[in-house]
Structure 1
Amino acid sequence: MRTLDWEGIWHAPTASWESLQLGELRAESQLRAIDEAGGPSYQLDYQLEWDEQWRLREARFSVESDRGTHQLHLLTDGEGHWRTAAGEALAELDGCLDIDIWPSPFTNTFPIRRLHLAEGERQELAVVYLEAPTLRPVRMRQGYTRVDAHHYLYENLEGTNFQALLTVDDDGLVIDYPTLFRRV
Structure 2
Amino acid sequence: MSPSNELPVAWSRLDVSEGLCVGALATGPSGFRLEAGEVVVDERERYSCRFTVDTDLAWATRRARVDTIDAGGTRVLELVRAAGQWTVNGERAPELEGCVDVDVAAAPLTNTLPIRRLGLAPGQYRDIHVAWVDVPALKVRRMKQRYTRLTPSGGLDRYEYRDPGFGAFDLTVDRDGLVIDYEHLARRIR
Distance in structure 2 (CA, Å) of the matches to 1:173 and 1:148: 17
* 1:118, distance to aligned residue in structure 2 (A): 1.5
- In structure 1, stretches of 5+ residues that fail to align are none
Distance in structure 2 (CA, Å) of the matches to 1:98 and 1:48: 10
Correspondence 1:156-167 to 2 at 5 A: 156-158=163-165, 160=166, 162-167=167-172
- In structure 2, stretches of 5+ residues that fail to align are 1-5
Correspondence 1:1-184 to 2 at 5 A: 1-12=6-17, 14=18, 16-24=19-27, 25-34=32-41, 38=44, 40-77=45-82, 80-86=84-90, 88-149=91-152, 150-158=157-165, 160=166, 162-184=167-189
Percent identity, please: 35
Q: Could you say which structure has the higher strand fraction?
A: 2
Distance in structure 1 (CA, Å) of the matches to 2:175 and 2:15: 25
**TM-score (norm. length: structure 1):** 0.89
Distance in structure 1 (CA, Å) of the matches to 2:127 and 2:42: 29
Superposed CA RMSD: 1.6
For 2:55, give the aligned amino acid. Answer: W
Moved over 2 A (4+): none
Distance in structure 1 (CA, Å) of the matches to 2:13 and 2:84: 29
The answer as to whether partners of 1:4 and 1:22 remain within 8 angstroms in 2 is no
The answer as to whether partners of 2:95 and 2:142 remain within 8 angstroms in 1 is yes
For 1:81, give the aligned amino acid. Answer: Q
The answer as to whether partners of 1:80 and 1:93 remain within 8 angstroms in 2 is no
The answer as to whether partners of 1:143 and 1:157 remain within 8 angstroms in 2 is no
Q: Would you say how many aligned residue pairs link Structure 1 and Structure 2? A: 176
Distance in structure 2 (CA, Å) of the matches to 1:35 and 1:98: 29
Distance in structure 1 (CA, Å) of the matches to 2:93 and 2:80: 10
CA deviations over 1:50-94 (Å, ceiling 9, x no partner): 1111101110111112211001111012x64211353x2100111
Distance in structure 2 (CA, Å) of the matches to 1:35 and 1:137: 23
